Amino acid sequence: MNYYNEIKQELINNEVYKKAKDYSKNRSDLTTYYNVGRLLSEAGKNYGEGIIKKYSAKLTEELGKGYSATNLKYMRQFFCLIEKGHAPRDDLSWTHYREILKLSDLNAINYYVEIASHQNLSYRQLHERIKSKEYERLDDKAKAMLIKKEEPKTEDLIKNPILIKNTYDTNNITEKMLKRLILENIDDFLKQLGVGFTYVGNEYPLKIGNRFYYIDILLYNIKDNRYVVLELKNTELKKEHFGQIKTYMNYIDKNLKTPEQNPTLGIILCKKDNEFIFEYVPNDYVIDREYELV
């Protein structure tokens, strides 16, 4: 079998098809590169790894740019991925897949394919999510559920740590400075929390008796149909933080929440976690996450 001629014809046919039917070029690309990857895999078994470099040089000479050895290796990886049971997504471009195929962890690959497809991420947005190691920042419970194709709770998908861009000249920031950094880039912050989070306000006032108290940041999750109280701490997590946030959550549940809405979620964003606190402090609907200045 002449693998080179088969590969060349696949690539030529794809270019012709895309010019005639631009609307389905993603599907054409993915089908073509799967077939090319299969042929490359078979050729490699017969002629050795060096065949990719040889084919790349010939294709570049005869067809032009776009067929480097690196690109051909990605096509072979794509074929191997599909053979492992991954169904290609027509709504993702080859550029998306090239970015994802840089990863070696199959579970991470599946995660980024899912979010890129469901959240309609551009290539650049996907690149930033991968660069931030979003999958790696999920906790083990959420990863295990995703691997089993179970649906994690919204709070399980909140990343840890939360990455916050620091525009100050110091890492020794106050809670007020931390809040300002979050609000300066609130869209990115909400994306790190997950799906459905929206901003309500900051320094949200609560009147309890004759005194006013202020929630650092109040959010709402549309997907879960509930308020989210966010408290910021530039210290290690302490037990008294739970009493404070539970007071605010109870106030929201009694004064803002309607019967159709779910109980309020509380998030304590702290400089350092203390895993032992959760063993002894009641924490229904309260989670904690660390922040990291970048």
- Give tens-digit pLDDT for 62-116: 999 889 999 999 999 999 999 998 888 989 999 999 999 999 999 999 999 999 9
Q: pLDDT per residue over 138-159, tens digit each?
A: 999 999 999 999 989 999 999 9
- Please classify residue 201 by burial: count the beta carbons closer than 10 Å to its beta carbon, then call 0-12 exposed, 13-18 middle and 19+ buried: exposed
146 occurs within a structural domain: no
| pLDDT higher than threshold 90 for residue 259 | yes
**Residue numbers of the domain that contains 213:** 152-293
The tokens of 221 are what? Answer: 């999750």
Q: Which amino acid is at 22?
A: D
Phi-psi sector, 149: left (phi>0), alpha (psi -120 to 50), beta: left
Residue with tokens 């959550």: 249
Instruction: Output the pLDDT for position 282.
Output: 64
How far does Cα 293 stand from its chain's mean position? 18
138 occurs within a structural domain: no
Q: Give kind and range of the element (H or E) at residue 162.
A: strand 162-164
167 occurs within a structural domain: yes
Phi, psi for residue 236 in degrees, rounded to 5? -70, 150
Say if residue 127 is in the same domain as residue 163. no
Q: How far apart are the first and last CA of the chain?
A: 53
Say if residue 77 is in the same domain as residue 169. no
| pLDDT higher than threshold 90 for residue 276 | no
Say if residue 114 is in the same domain as residue 156. no
Using a cut of 0.85, tell me whether the model's pTM lies above it: yes
Say if residue 166 is in the same domain as residue 93. no
The Cα–Cα gap between 239 and 221 comes to 26
